[in-house]
Amino acid sequence: MKTDQRPVNSGFGPASTAADVIRGIDLSGKIAIVTGGYSGLGRETVRIFRAAGARVIVPARDTARAAEALKDFPDAEIEPMDLLDPASIAAFVTRFLAAGLPLHIVVNSAGIMACPLARDARGYESQFATNHLGHFQLVTGLWPALVRAKGARVVSVSSKGHRFSPVIFEDLHFERRPYDPWLGYGQSKTANILFAVELDVRGKDEGIRAFSVHPGGIVGTGLDKHVPRETLIKAGAMDERGRPIIDPAQGLKNVGQGAATQVWCATSLQLEGRGGVYCEDVDIASPTPENFSPTMALGGAKTMTGVLPYAVDPVSATRLWRISENLAAP
C-alpha cells in the first residue's frame, strides 16, 4: 500500500520553529532517544523535548564532546554508542532493554554528508552505514521498548538530497561503480525514507508509527564540513563573508526552524493515525512528479518540494528492510 502523501494543512510553515510546534504539548513521563543530539538539529530537538518534560537520552560516539555540548542541559543522559560500530549499538540496546522501560520517541538525527569514500570494518560505505544501517540496527533492536510504550514514534531525518539517487540495490557500497559523495549521500537519504515506510507497515498494529523528514538547508551544524565554502556560496546558502543565509521560503533555515518538522512528527496530535509519510515545512509533503530530473548539485532546484516516488515505493521499502536485516546481522 502506498503512503498517503497528502498535506494536512497543519497551520505551520517553513518559518515555524520547534518551539512553535511543541507549544501546548506535555511530554512528561515520556522517554526519547535522539541520535546526533549534541549538535545542530539534534541538540535543538533535545532542548525542546526537555523543555516539554521528556526524559532524553543521547547516544554519542564521543561522550566527552557530547557532555561539553550539552553542559547547559545537565539532565540530558549521555550514553556511549557509535553508529558505525555494530557491537556498540548492540551494547546500548542491551543496556536500555535491561531497564525494562518504554520508549516513546526515537529521532534518528545523526548523519554524515558528502564525505570522501570510507568504509567501516565490514566494508560498508560509510554514509549508507551511518545514516541508514546503524539506525536500522538501533531501532529494530529497541523494538520491545517501542511496543511497551503503547504508542511510539520513530522519526528519520532524511533530506531533499534523496533526489540525488535511489537506493542502488545492485551496488550499495560502491564496489563496482565510481564513488560520488553526493550519490552516496542521496542513496542514504532515500534509504531513510524507505526505512520509515516499511517500519510503519510493520509497527502500526503495535502502536509504532514512523515518519521521515526534510529539515531544510541549515548551514553551520557540522553536517556540511566536507562541502567546500565556494560550493555553499554558489548554492546561495552562504554569503561571501561565510555567514549562513536564512530564507525559509527558499528552504534555507536556522536551527530552530530546521528542527521544527522532526519535533512535529515526533509529537503532534495532527499525525494521530498516520505514518510512513515524508514531511517537510511542518506538514506532510506532496509527491514530486514522476518526470522530475534530479539536479546533481548542492542547492539545485532549491525551491522544489515533495518526495520522489522511488523513495516511498513499498516494494523497495520491503526489499531494503530484508537486505538491511542481513547486513546488520552479527
Which residue numbers are catalytic?
185
Residues 6 or more apart in contact with residue 306 via CB below 8 angstroms = 5, 280, 285, 286, 287, 288
Cα angle value 215/134/96 (rounded, 5°)? 100
Strand order in the sheet with 55-60: 77-80, 55-60, 31-35, 105-108, 152-157, 208-214, 277-280, 283-284
Residue by residue, what is the 3-state secondary structure of 185-234? HHHHHHHHHHHHHHHHHHHHHHCEEEEEEECCECCCCCCCCCCCHHHHHH
* Grid cell at residue 98: 535491561
Amino acid at 238: M
Helix (H, G, I), strand (E, B) or coil at 125: strand
Q: Which residues pair with 60 in a beta bridge?
A: 80
